[in-house]
Amino acid sequence: MEKVTIELFSDILCIWAYGAQPRIDQLKSDYGSQIELRYRFIPVFAAAHRRIEDQWQEKGGYAGFNSYLHELVASWDDITLHPDVWQKDPPHSSTPSHLYVKGMQLLEQQGTLAADDMSGFNGRTVVEEFLWRVRCAFFRNAHDISSIEILDNIAQEMGIACAAVHRMIDSGAAHAALHLDSEVRDRYLVPGSPTLVFNEGRQRLYGNVGYRIIDVNIRELLRDNQTGEASWC
């Protein structure tokens, strides 16, 4: 049976991508090997301080952005925020985290990425679990995830060999992989974070999309793979 490939474009500092994690976990639980998730990253918060200072200058700055986020997630299930998120040690950029994950993805492709114990990963791969823990480190714990030291600490807690990830970054391989994500974003005309892209760019779901909408797209694509009909999604 053919798999449905879903390319997930996000910025690791995007609140909407953080809040979407339960839906991604549910997809993996419901569809298993019928879907393939490919994680790509876009630079929404590549210059995080400038973005917030420009967009929130007349709306309370970092304090205003903090209040907005807490109001936003107040009704979200299983999603929590640190009281001082974006006020305590706000990261300068999401790029270091993106590079770290791209380095891990390259190791995964080589078959050399491993963690000491995956029993607590809730069905996630090593890369997926690391990505989730980095988001939690920022949104739940207000850690500066633009710091390589913070990223190393998370990797070490998982039993990941940091030196191997550093080699991918230092060699430029992770930078090249991140650049390719930007090329694919431009080719698919991805509007922002998070965006789910299906069917080689023919279908896009952007923003805070409900699970049932994602689910029906996958069901239609799986059905069409079996029948050969054109998708009605």
Q: Which domains does the chain have, with CATH numbers?
A: 4-227 (3.40.30.10)
Average pLDDT over residues 137-161: 97
How high is the pLDDT of residue 225? 65
Q: What is the pTM of this model?
A: 0.92
pLDDT in tens, 27-57: 999 999 999 999 999 999 999 999 999 999 9
Using an 8 Å Cβ cutoff, are 25 and 57 in contact? Answer: no
pLDDT in tens, 83-114: 999 999 999 999 999 999 999 999 999 999 98
Q: From the CA atom positions of the chain, what is the Rg in Å?
A: 18
